[in-house]
Structure 1
């Protein structure tokens, strides 16, 4: 397996002159970043959304981090050793790693944080178990969740042998373990600070602590957040800007207008703005990394029918969606594992090895649907399509899919619009949906970051897909040490799920953004935390 640094990692650096308005800025101390999304929280043991990950990453570093090219490098860990059986990692922490309140960053901070996410039953707690880092005893503790006692949590395979030595024991080797350590669910938390703050921890700047490049200084939810350079950061010389400002919940149309009027320095834009800026020197396009898909609720008897799900997949004209509607470099999804995520041991892209499971065929769609109706003993069905109105381009995609589905006789689609937060936290988590338009960004560069989503018991398997063969394959993947056999098992697992369209892949998201031309060093990756601001510089 190649490391994440050799997977697509895009350093978004500006270069030429502007097309609309001025493409340069004169304030070299501040970088203004516009996001359509809000920061949902700053507690790494609770949150599970990309924008919160980005904000937490701006103020916190884990054992491993990202260099200027997005490659994995040592961060809080100044060194590490791996046992011969690759099941024990011993990290030695930097002597100069400090929290912004002056406390040393210690091995106990990692022990506390890793136990805390299990105790909080955070959505990303599973990443400590066999579907992620495979830490010893993590699965059993995750199953207990909030009911796990402190004594039981002490059996987790992590320990601080001294102030600066952190040891992790695994159930089985994990080939991408070090890359995982860059992700927020593995970040340290200062126990004394967190427990003193109590329920207020990470809810305001005063109750948030930093060991990274910046310190959170202001935060108005739904509007903006501001971060200032952390003088106690061990790598502070690499940080060239004094202030990082984020405008939150800003629609692409407003963000582009703010960019043109020099109020922001970086803004992602939606597909309807691409034609306006494409070819301009401030315009950039990149692989955003997200797979957008339809998640069926398998508890719904109609959607539990494989032929109904196959019909829905056949009915979607993915190519037209990408070229005629999105127009931002998005590509039609051929399976549940996006292209350019990882390579096989012999250097082939997973998508090329596994082949394609999607095609547009209205005739086959109707045939599969009619067969499904016959099996259900029905003449027609009605399904609700759930999507977030604040998740660009969900509205356009949902409307397009509805148009596609209207070609299937006997199918009625009711559109259900809500917010992203309500879609996930209220409706999907509680099974209150039929079909949900959702997305997933890879947490690490391995197919299991997607395959895990369809495992029985996975916290993000909101549709409750269950297949014994699939679950068996996933368990084998978790313990297989032969890289060739492991890859074959992952190919088989995806095929098992896609042959019955457990989830319905729609498109791989391309991204478009505007960035002032005399700014460099903003790192954007399609894998893991989307943005790294540490190296941003105004020339």
Structure 2
């Protein structure tokens, strides 16, 4: 199997307990963790946010999992075989894997879950389709969504041969398929339990099952969630803590104050706190394999003009945005695919191969903007800038962009603040925006995790970008079996999109956190789920 090293083990420990600012009476059985957002659901087929994915990952394992170094490894699947043409995977499940209600984990649990995400038109259903996992017949079923019949759903290329054998048929080889199996959208669901719970499934601890390291014991929405060690977990020997406590929806300022008061062992911090903590031993920064960018509504007639889009990109001083505004370890984005995500077949980072498509040049920006206005037959235009005011640092980024764009003569920017939930659930899907500060984190280690967002028909292509040359290249990617040729197609596809200013990349995002020196084993992943809690230990 292919093993991908794209994680950072946040594993610091203290030689002396007194040096950690603690005492012998400190609770070493509970890891206390704070997040700025809430858990939206524990249903792996319904969620779309990183906090929910982290919580689901704490209680559930898929066919593949993540070890203490962040490498993809066998989990519920004790073994798997790949056919000679690399289009059929046969997984053999562990005999000792079971749900927290005592039921064994079976192959049908995966079949049911994968059909469920398509049948319920889940946001991440597209991952089963040709742009990602490329599972046989997935595209046609995703298109049908809620209207697909049971007979039609049975044509999906996933079969339970018996309770412990699962086969998956692909339309073409997918180099990162094993890594995908560690992502929550491919996790199993106990069909009998879920169907009995109905609409209540995954909405509270009593309607949630576990087959992983922890079991959800409490959940006060918008406030906190607690998880206890799962004594029925097949790998329970590696789990050192008895409880995992999450503070939810807590602002970074409050989280950092609680960390200082030793009420938390981990806290994510915001831009304005970086200078305060940057010399602390608890302060950590890491690459997120995530891009912050401006989503462009290509249905807006003014933004259909390429020179207007070019001007907006050239007007952004990304270096200053990173160093003076966010200060969280982010770096200027050079393209849509972030650096340090994946390597070419000959070992080169994608960004080194693909090159740079961003620059700051106000003179050229004004020239492009003037040309765009001339082509539109206008003297000035007004564009709205949508952003989630409750997203970390988003308001500061929005204000900075407004300052940058205000230097373009003939452009008026209207600030459109909303909540993250409204932005994702309503404004973006409804096309109710001109420009929107958006972000995307890698779900798996391949450029398609970003480039597929610009593919025609993708549910996350909120700006309705549609470029025939780009679409053709991405279609070829789906069927190309030569890994080198496939990689070159991805480089070419990004070039088309970036030279067309399909969107405006801003930052390769970084993250700043505080981690207690007595804590070790928390694993951060730059793609997929963010955190693995299985190996956490408090000394």
1:231 Cα deviation (Å)? 1.1
Q: Alpha carbons of 1:35 and 1:16: their partners in 2 closer, same or farther (altered >3 Å)?
A: farther
List aligned pairs for 1:305-320, cutoff 5 A: 305-320=305-320
Q: Which residue of 2 aligns with 1:239?
A: 239
Q: Alpha carbons of 1:20 and 1:261: their partners in 2 closer, same or farther (altered >3 Å)?
A: farther
1:23 Cα deviation (Å)? 6.2
List aligned pairs for 1:207-246, cutoff 5 A: 207-246=207-246
Counterpart-to-counterpart distance in 2, 1:361 and 1:19: 53
Counterpart-to-counterpart distance in 2, 1:421 and 1:102: 36
Q: Which residue of 2 aligns with 1:364?
A: 364
1:13 Cα deviation (Å)? 3.7
Kept after mapping to 1: 8 A contact 2:14/2:20: no
Counterpart-to-counterpart distance in 1, 2:484 and 2:376: 41
Matched, 1:153 2:156: no
Q: Which residue of 1 aligns with 2:328?
A: 328
1:7 Cα deviation (Å)? 3.4
Counterpart-to-counterpart distance in 1, 2:233 and 2:459: 34
List aligned pairs for 1:268-287, cutoff 5 A: 268-287=268-287
Counterpart-to-counterpart distance in 1, 2:13 and 2:181: 29
Counterpart-to-counterpart distance in 2, 1:3 and 1:388: 38
5+ long unaligned stretches in structure 2: none
Counterpart-to-counterpart distance in 2, 1:16 and 1:493: 51
Q: Which residue of 2 aligns with 1:169?
A: 169
Kept after mapping to 1: 8 A contact 2:6/2:526: no
Q: Alpha carbons of 1:374 and 1:144: their partners in 2 closer, same or farther (altered >3 Å)?
A: same
Aligned to 1:5, what secondary structure does the other structure show? coil
Q: Which residue of 2 aligns with 1:79?
A: 79
Q: Alpha carbons of 1:3 and 1:397: their partners in 2 closer, same or farther (altered >3 Å)?
A: farther
Matched, 1:438 2:435: no
Q: Which residue of 2 aligns with 1:508?
A: 508
5+ long unaligned stretches in structure 1: none
Q: How far does the alpha carbon of each residue in 1:119-158 deviate from its partner, in whole angstroms, 9 at most, with x for none?
A: 0111110100111111111011111111110000000000
Q: Which residue of 2 aligns with 1:426?
A: 426
Counterpart-to-counterpart distance in 2, 1:15 and 1:500: 52
Counterpart-to-counterpart distance in 1, 2:191 and 2:536: 31
Aligned to 2:4, what secondary structure does the other structure show? helix
Matched, 1:342 2:339: no
Q: Which residue of 1 aligns with 2:447?
A: 447
Aligned to 2:514, what secondary structure does the other structure show? strand
List aligned pairs for 1:49-198, cutoff 5 A: 49-198=49-198
Q: Which residue of 2 aligns with 1:412?
A: 412
Q: So what's the TM-score if we normalise by structure 2?
A: 0.98
Counterpart-to-counterpart distance in 1, 2:222 and 2:15: 33
Q: Alpha carbons of 1:280 and 1:3: their partners in 2 closer, same or farther (altered >3 Å)?
A: farther
1:41 Cα deviation (Å)? 1.1
Q: Which residue of 1 aligns with 2:28?
A: 28
Q: How far does the alpha carbon of each residue in 1:412-470 deviate from its partner, in whole angstroms, 9 at most, with x for none?
A: 11111111110110100111111110100000000000000000000100010001111
Q: Alpha carbons of 1:399 and 1:14: their partners in 2 closer, same or farther (altered >3 Å)?
A: farther
Kept after mapping to 2: 8 A contact 1:11/1:69: no
Kept after mapping to 2: 8 A contact 1:17/1:23: no
Q: How far does the alpha carbon of each residue in 1:62-82 deviate from its partner, in whole angstroms, 9 at most, with x for none?
A: 000000000000000011111
List aligned pairs for 1:350-499, cutoff 5 A: 350-499=350-499
Q: So what's the TM-score if we normalise by structure 1?
A: 0.98
Kept after mapping to 2: 8 A contact 1:11/1:70: no
Q: Which residue of 1 aligns with 2:201?
A: 201
1:14 Cα deviation (Å)? 4.7
Kept after mapping to 2: 8 A contact 1:18/1:280: no
Counterpart-to-counterpart distance in 1, 2:22 and 2:468: 55
1:282 Cα deviation (Å)? 1.1
Aligned length: 538
Kept after mapping to 2: 8 A contact 1:11/1:525: no
Q: Alpha carbons of 1:10 and 1:286: their partners in 2 closer, same or farther (altered >3 Å)?
A: farther
Counterpart-to-counterpart distance in 2, 1:314 and 1:329: 22
1:16 Cα deviation (Å)? 7.5
Q: Alpha carbons of 1:347 and 1:23: their partners in 2 closer, same or farther (altered >3 Å)?
A: farther
Aligned to 2:486, what secondary structure does the other structure show? helix
Q: Which residue of 1 aligns with 2:5?
A: 6
Aligned to 1:255, what secondary structure does the other structure show? helix
Q: How far does the alpha carbon of each residue in 1:251-292 deviate from its partner, in whole angstroms, 9 at most, with x for none?
A: 111000000011111001112111111121111111122210
List aligned pairs for 1:293-304, cutoff 5 A: 293-304=293-304
Q: Alpha carbons of 1:510 and 1:250: their partners in 2 closer, same or farther (altered >3 Å)?
A: same
Counterpart-to-counterpart distance in 2, 1:109 and 1:87: 22
Kept after mapping to 2: 8 A contact 1:405/1:411: yes
Counterpart-to-counterpart distance in 2, 1:445 and 1:11: 20
1:306 Cα deviation (Å)? 1.2
Kept after mapping to 1: 8 A contact 2:519/2:538: yes
1:378 Cα deviation (Å)? 1.0
